[in-house]
Chain A
Amino acid sequence: MQRDGNGNAATEPSLKVAALVSVGRHPVTGRARRAEYDARAVEIGLSLAKGGDLSLVHAGASSPETEAALRGYLGMGPGAVDVLQQPEGSDVVPALESWLRAAGPRVVLCGARGETGEGSGLVPFILAERLGWSLVSGLAEIESVDRDTMTVLQALPRGQRRRLKVRLPAVVTVDAAAQPARQSAFGPAQRGELHRVASEVVPDAAAREWTVAPARKRPKRLKIVKAASARDRFKAAAAKAEGSGGQVLTGVSAQQGAEAILKLLREEGVLR
């Protein structure tokens, strides 16, 4: 158990934790800021690495604006952020991968969704795959960390939680289920250091094909309620939406799983 490890800090080396942080974008004004979910990842990192072995890394292009946004994470307490210099249009995964290999953290935390760039994409998944580390998405809380495993609570829809035992090292993504990030303070934000680190640059071939547009709120599926009385309407409104018609597939092959997913997407009209 690491979290109450003040006493045995001498015998047990403190847990190495890394957090991937990106430059966020305010939903209303579009101003650069610390990204909401990444900040929550840092928050978990801070409580996990009470001993102080939390390192932050960012891969991307440097500008005064992005640096001010990254200082938002420093204002939470960590002393430095490693900034892997990646010009616009490069694939950040190789740079992050080699940084992670060199740093060798036991736990890598990041936001489930960034607010700009590719932080919102498959980065954590690809990283975990390339490194051969475990991956948990939608982390709510890390309960305990042992030598080779940790126990975490994963958030499921509608407030449900699932307790998982995860082999280390692991990449975990954090979203709205995790506790909110602490306030960012001006003093530590100014004093913290942004270490510019030169890193390999691989152009992102796939991204060149993409068009990028600001995300919009997805339309909500209307619930059609046929109710005769006010009481029924109230019950329908208050009831949690039963996921009807869904199925849990266990022990099926990848092929069968993929087919089931495709079938559902066609039924829902997502794929035509």
Chain B
Amino acid sequence: MLDVVLPILIFASLALALLGAIRRIRLWRQGRPSPVSVLGGLAAMPRRYLVDLHDVVARDKVFANTHVATGGGFVAAAVLLILVHGFQFESRLLSWALLAATAVMFAGALRVAARRKNPPARLSRGPWMRLPKSLFAFASGVFLVTLPTAGVLPASFGGWALAAVLTLIVAWGISEMFLGMTWGGPMKHAFAGALHLAFHRRPERFGGGRSTGLKPIDLKDATAPLGVGKPADFTWNQLLGFDACVQCGRCEAMCPAFAAGQPLNPKKLIQDMVVGLAGGTDAAYAGSPYPGKPIGEHGGDAHSPIVLREGRALVDADTLWSCTTCRACVEECPMMIEHVDAIVDMRRFLTMEHGNTPNKGREVLENLATTDNPGGFDPASRMNWAADLDLPLMAKRGTADVLLWMGDGAFDMRNQRTLRALVKVLRAAQVDFAVLGNEELDSGDVARRLGDEATFQTLAVRNAATLAKYRFREIVTCDPHSFHVLKNEYPAFGASYAVTHHSTFISKLMEKGRLALGEWTGGRVTYHDPCYLGRYNGEYEAPRNALKGIGIKVVEMERSGFRSRCCGGGGGAPITDIPGKRRIPDMRMEEINSTKADIVAVGCPQCTAMLEGVVGPRPEVLDIAELVAAQLVAAPAPARGADKRVQVERAVEVVA
């Protein structure tokens, strides 16, 4: 009897799954076009899955093994099931292989079940709680019906009653595993996830690459929507990406805004986008809500507004404005979903269509448009901080080895100290550098992350035109935000330069022996990784090397390196200032305090400002440039042929 029922069951469910897949694909195709290489993507997919995705999953060793056993066991079992019971291939070997696969899967399912016993808050419940049972049903059902084909039991074993029971168990398993994959259910992540990996909007991220710059909007194209106002305004592969979410909550556990009680939870946001693409409400969501916002009050569909000016739709504006664009969620997401892209896309619509950037947003954006800096300072006063330093100006020199990009910190009294320290270091190392002076404009970082792509592009184009006038080997800056924008976002506007963060530059100077440094005698030092240097640009080592170069042994925080927690200063978050239960810099300072450090070394004007804004007692906040400058021994580089080096580099510059 089983050999009649099973093929029918298998092929009927495969056919239904196919129908579901077509329906799901049509949902994704509601999005805007996005060019991808279909065959190339599909060909690259297994590698992306096995290497890139598993690299992220493997940060949780236990669960990685669980997933390999369950997922690998299932894929093998599914293929063999179709061969052995669907097509009824009579092969002992295949049957035994199927038994093995289901056994492995069963073992994996045991671990899944164990994890679900007392699930951490970041995991979603709801349908996910039944998943281990469904896995058991599939693995054990298929195992049992395969015993006769493998010759372990006689074909007639147990009679029709047992066969009926087994059929039901297998049917349960198959419907979760096959139908759930395309009709929606926990297993959807496998189907959508595989395609998401194949058609990812940032294929550069695979194979150890990095792609963090925001994508420009073509403002000249009057038909292109200004950001995302309704789910269908996302590109189709963004929608596909949302659908791939496994609700593992790793993003939620990392999100500083969520931890601070601001109304944002990256996991919920992605799930809301899934609600948006399929239509409905968030009532079925079974994970942590946005802090302070009950579940079940929001909903929408692909062609309705995501945010309403007044009233509730899919998401509230303050959710989108809570994000610091720290990328902790993206870094942690095993499905490689791009939360920050989505958030900025939606912010673009709020700013450029609604004209509704909260709190100081309007003022900052107006200042950027009229004075080229967010503070509204007189652009002719950009160089006032260096009135006594006699800095060489590019306008006069035309060429230099290094272009020192000052950033808007030039207007900020605290950051001016950092800039002065950096100048001191550069001079001590006899670096040939110059500044743009008053020709420099804001890089556009804040405008872009507040969704004002128009102002960003204006600034980018004007800065690019200024840079094109001069010749230099590299740009050095002490502002990771300028660094990121210049390095990763300006190339789209025709400005491709070698850009270096000052910590990297200083550590290279140290390697070359260009700095005469005294020994560190200060206290304990910890280092706070800026998001825009670390996660955005992968630079974790250079700042630590620079500190090591002056004899500092960094006491690491629990969250450091790629898991560093944001200071709360990115993405215009201090400008939009969405209230939460706590402040993000306070939380970060607690982590700093728990290292018992006397000094926290930073490498970013925003981090400096945010961390110094925390009430004491707290460690002193000092930029790497300040720490290094303080260790400079009076005489300039004691020059084992340092002069020669300078000349050699000049020669390089002339050729370039």
A interface residues with partner B (beta carbon < 8 Å): 26, 28-29, 31, 33, 75-77, 182-188, 190-191
Contact = CB atoms under 8 A, between A and B. Distances in A.
Interface stretch (B5-13, B355-363, B619-627): B355-363
Contact of B355 (A28, A188, A190): A188
A185 B351 contact: yes
B441 to A, nearest CB: 12
B371 A185 contact: no
Contacts of A188: 353, 355
A187 B353 contact: yes
B370 A187 contact: no
A29 B354 contact: no
Contacts of B361: 183
B226 A186 contact: yes
B378 A187 contact: no
A31 B353 contact: no
Interface string B332-373: 000000000000000000011111110001100110011100
Given A28-B378, A29-B379, A185 B370 contact: no
7 contacts: A26-B370, A28-B370, A29-B379, A77-B355, A183-B362, A186-B452, A191-B222
A184 B376 CA distance: 17
8 nearest interchain CB pairs? Answer: A185-B355, A183-B355, A183-B362, A186-B352, A186-B454, A187-B353, A26-B370, A187-B226
B371 A29 contact: yes
Given A183-B356, A183-B361, 4 more contacts: A29-B371, A182-B355, A185-B353, A185-B356
Contacts, number: 48
Contacts of B366: 183
Interface string B592-620: 00000000000000000000000000000
A77 B366 CA distance: 17
Nearest to B354: A185
Contacts of A26: 370-371
Nearest to B455: A186
Interface in B411-453: 452-453
Interface of B: 222, 226, 351-357, 361-362, 365-366, 369-371, 376-379, 452-454
Q: Which label, helix, strand, loop or mixed, suits the secondary structure of the B interface?
A: helix
Nearest to A26: B370
B371 A187 contact: no
Nearest to B227: A187
Contacts of B454: 186
B422 to A, nearest CB: 28
A183 B309 CA distance: 14
Contact of B370 (A29, A183, A190): A29
B378 A185 contact: no
A26 B371 CA distance: 9
A179 to B, nearest CB: 13
B6 to A, nearest CB: 58
A75 B351 CA distance: 11
A33 B353 contact: no
A138 B408 CA distance: 38
A33 B355 CA distance: 16
B265 to A, nearest CB: 27
A147 to B, nearest CB: 29
Contacts of B351: 183, 185-186
Nearest to A25: B370
Contact of B376 (A28, A77, A187, A190): A28
Nearest to B229: A187
A75 B454 CA distance: 13
Contacts of A77: 355
B338 to A, nearest CB: 24
A28 B352 contact: no
Nearest to A185: B355
A28 B371 contact: yes
B376 A75 contact: no
Contacts of B370: 26, 28-29, 31, 33
A190 B371 contact: no
Most buried by A among B353, B354, B356, B370: B370
Contact of B365 (A182, A183, A187): A183
